[in-house]
């Protein structure tokens, strides 16, 4: 059965649009129901990890246009520069105090 047919039938039976999959709990419940009825097979642990990793990568890519490694090195450079500035400032204060 095509997706549009399912939607149409759902609308005819329940008088509203198909709201399944709108949130995580409903999606998970739907998946479990499908597994029990034999429509889908349950995922192996490896497949679950793969999906989670993909989801996280996609999320990170969406939130940060830069690659993860580049972002990490930039933040490290920035923190190193801040530390260097702080040390220089402290040395200047020390020199002024000695005068």
Write the DSSP symbol of residue 1.
Answer: -
What are the tens digits of pLDDT across the range 19-46?
554 566 676 777 778 878 877 777 777 7
What are the tens digits of pLDDT across the range 44-69?
777 778 878 877 777 666 655 555 55
Nearest to 48 by CA among 35, 37, 36: 35
C-alpha distances out from residue 82 to 20, 27, 75, 79, 89, Å:
50, 46, 11, 5, 10
Residues 91, 85: Cα–Cα separation, whole Å = 10
């Amino acid at each position: 059965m095509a997706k549009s047919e399912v939607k149409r039938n759902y609308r005819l039976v329940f008088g509203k649009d198909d709201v399944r999959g709108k949130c995580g709990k409903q999606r998970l419940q739907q998946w479990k129901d499908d597994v029990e009825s034999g429509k889908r097979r349950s995922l192996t642990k490896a497949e679950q990890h793969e999906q989670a990793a993909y989801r996280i990568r996609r999320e990170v890519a969406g939130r940060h246009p830069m690659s993860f490694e580049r972002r990490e090195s930039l933040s490290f450079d920035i923190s190193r520069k801040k530390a260097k500035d702080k040390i220089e400032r402290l040395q200047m204060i020390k020199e002024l105090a000695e005068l």
